[in-house]
Amino acid sequence: MHSLDLLLRVAPATVLLLLGGLLLRDGKGQRIVRAFGLLSLGLAGFLAGNTPYPELLLPAPVATWVGLLSGLAALFLWWFLLELFDDGFALGPREWAVSGAWLLLVLLDRGLLGARYAGIGLSWGLIAMALAMVAHVLWRLLRDREGDLVEERRRSRRWIAAAFSAALLADLGADILMGFSWKPAWFSMLQNAAIGAIALGLARLLLRADAQVLVHRLAERETAEPQAVRSQERENALLARIEQLMREQRPYRDPALDFASFVKLAGAPEPEVRRLVNHRLGARHFRSFLNAYRLEDAKAALADPARARDKLLAIALDAGFASLSSFNRCFKQAQGESPSAYRARQLPETAAEPDWELPKTRF
């Protein structure tokens, strides 16, 4: 059993660390790559210490750092899944606050800030936070799935979230039912095998073989058949119709517009609209597609002398943003400056309005 235990821990950890290293090498600067690198370290730390056999545990100095990585695995998983599902996601004040609280609890629970804090029930706080993270990810998954325009990611987001969430929930459930210091050998091995299956699934998605490298020749390009030509003409007509729709009717000004309603306006099958907006217009999510039009609308209003006295909130709402905060966030991410700074550059004679809203007071 010792050999099986080692195999179920070493093999998945090796695959995860290898994938993380390859992605860091080939995808420098991408947040999703950094998030996966941290996740691979956290899961490898969990695998290194998840054994029921005391004689297979790592020596004390190494075990301390491995235990810290293991404790951060759930946090890294939360970051990774948020990055995976949302191209525009960035850690904000709320995410940093949750992350800081998680790190503090892990350090205290592991006794790294003093042995007197260990074993005082802090693990229950970590369980509560982990359950909240799982719920948050699943909520984001259901909320954003319809508007995901990357078909492969849209299809895979269910099983990726389900697999990772199930693995985390199984661990939390075992802690609740069996206690934090006792788990049967079969359960630990089952956990490690599940992580191994997830690692192999990720490897299948990320590592693609190209048969042309082996045969050293490229297939000749076939002549386009009449059906392909007709398909291209149909796509061009749909593209022109969508561009006219966005220019004349401006449906993006409705903050409640969802993808299903947009497909009806476009008057074409949902897969065709999804593929065209993704491939031809370069949008990976319906929300980012709408926000691009909303930002252009807002920029025109901010540079218009006739609207120099308009409040930023009014401009944001007129363009289709649901709130001033979402408008400020999207504008700064796209333009590298705040709306008020942009207006001040376009209309130097206008006093800049702050990018925040005064709280409403009731009398």
- For residue 223, pLDDT over 50 is answered with no
**CB crowding 321-332: b at 16 or more within 10 Å, else e:** beebeebbbbbe
Q: At what angle do helices 339-346 and 312-319 cross, to 10 degrees?
A: 100
Q: What is the pLDDT of residues 12-22, one digit of tens each?
A: 899 889 888 88
Task: Inform me whether the pLDDT recorded for 253 exceeds 70.
Answer: yes
pLDDT of residue 222: 47
State residue 118's pLDDT score: 59
Over residues 101-118, mean pLDDT: 79
Cα(first)–Cα(last) distance of the chain, in Å? 72
pTM listed for this prediction: 0.69
How many whole angstroms separate alpha carbon 253 and alpha carbon 293?
9
pLDDT of residue 40: 92
What's residue 190's pLDDT?
81
The per-residue pLDDT for range 127-176, each reduced to its tens digit, is 888 888 888 888 887 777 778 887 777 777 777 777 767 777 777 777 77
pLDDT at 122 over 90: no
When pLDDT is averaged across residues 214-227 and rounded to a whole number, the result is: 48
pLDDT at 318 over 90: yes
What is d(CA 94, CA 97) in angstroms, rounded to the nearest whole number? 5
Give residue 189's pLDDT band: very low, low, confident or very high (50, 70, 90): confident
Residue 74: closest CA among 168, 162, 179: 168
Least confident residue range of 138-142, 248-252, 291-295: 138-142
Q: 84 or 329: whose pLDDT is higher?
A: 329
Q: Where are the domains of the chain?
A: 2-207, 241-346
Give pLDDT, residue 93.
85
Q: Which CATH architecture has domain 2-207?
A: Up-down Bundle (1.20)
Fold of 241-346: Arc Repressor Mutant, subunit A (1.10.10)
**Residue 355 pLDDT:** 64
Q: Could you tell me which residue, 295 or 24, shows the higher pLDDT?
A: 295
**Residue 96 and residue 26: Cα distance in Å, rounded?**
27
Please tell me the least confidently modeled range out of 66-75, 155-164, 299-308: 155-164
Q: What are phi and psi of 285, to 5 degrees?
A: -145, 145
- The 3-state secondary structure of 252-302 reads HHCCCCCHHHHHHHHCCCHHHHHHHHHHCCCCCEHHHHHHHHHHHHHHHHH
Mean pLDDT over the full length of the chain: 81
What's the pLDDT score for residue 214?
47
- If you average pLDDT over residues 72-100, what whole number do you get? 85
Measured between alpha carbons, how far is 72 from 121 in angstroms, rounded to an integer? 18
The pLDDT value given to residue 221:
47
